[in-house]
Chain A
Amino acid sequence: AQSVTQLGSHVSVSEGALVLLRCNYSSSVPPYLFWYVQYPNQGLQLLLKYTTGATLVKGINGFEAEFKKSETSFHLTKPSAHMSDAAEYFCAVSGRDKIIFGKGTRLHILP
């Protein structure tokens, strides 16, 4: 079975500051890990994913995430926040079958 915990339902950062959204997972099999972004009233857009190989994964819009097996974490980062990054972010885990989502983190960007 798989599960995902996102720490912090709301995160606020200043424009230009580092973005860090935390995600911890549990999985009984080697996991596939994902980050999705959801803008208001829209569906989900894939930011990045980890399946196998390199543990530092680069995605769209300047985001990246690092898979740390020892910490069972897959935190999402971006060096410099932009106003357009304000959205809901979901971490997800898949054990080769269905995908399970965390509860989401709302990212607020302060001017």
Chain B
Amino acid sequence: GAVVSQHPSRVICKSGTSVKIECRSLDFQATTMFWYRQFPKQSLMLMATSNEGSKATYEQGVEKDKFLINHASLTLSTLTVTSAHPEDSSFYICSAKTTGRGNTIYFGEGSWLTVV
């Protein structure tokens, strides 16, 4: 099974609503998780770094009030897209960093968000 699990894998929401995506590390504790966004046929763009128990660090150009990240436990981080618009439609991928396996970063399966 996947080391890092994302849910939901696909979600459709109406414009103006909020949607939450969960990222769980299944067999290890992750003090640091990362959220990426990937547009079709493009590379991954790091959105933010999430540290357990503290505020997320956002990359330049990413709206922190729009993309709310919570890392409440060592195995769970959530990304909430608030007041979603069609241009937020994208593939969102989370990853979690291990400390006991050579600092490897494992990725979730990704979540397709479509805003209609």
Instruction: Please list the residues of chain B having a beta carbon within 8 angstroms of any beta carbon in chain A.
Output: 6, 32, 34, 42-44, 46, 49, 93, 95, 102-110, 112
A interface residues, Cβ below 8 angstroms from B? 32, 34, 36, 41-46, 49, 51, 90, 94, 96-104
Residues from chain B with a CB closer than 8 A to the CB of A32 are 102-103
Least Cβ–Cβ distance between A54 and chain B, in angstroms: 13
A100: B residues at CB distance < 8 A: 46
A99 and B42 contact, Cβ closer than 8 Å, known pairs A42-B110, A43-B93 = no
In the complex the two chains form, is B34's CB within 8 Å of A46's CB? no
**B110 neighbours in A (Cβ, 8 Å):** 42-43
B102 touches A51 (CB 8 A): yes
A18 CB, nearest partner CB in chain B, Å: 25
- Check A98/B107 contact, CB under 8 A, given A44-B93, A104-B43: no
With known contacts A43-B110, A46-B106, A96-B103, A103–B93 Cβ distance under 8 A: no
Q: Do A43 and B109 touch across chains, with their CB atoms under 8 A apart?
A: yes
Q: How far is the CB of A34 from chain B (nearest CB, A)?
A: 7
B104 in contact with A98 (CB, 8 Å) = no
Q: Main secondary structure on chain A at its contact with chain B?
A: strand
What's the least CB distance linking A100 to chain B, in Å?
7
Chain A residue contacts of B108, Cβ below 8 A: 43
Do A98 and B46 have beta carbons less than 8 Å apart?
yes
- B2 — nearest CB in chain A belongs to which residue? A43
Given contacts A42-B110, A43-B6, A43-B93, contact A49 B104 (CB under 8 A): yes
Contact A90 B103 (CB under 8 A): no
Q: Which of A43, A97, A103 contacts B107 (CB 8 A)?
A: A43
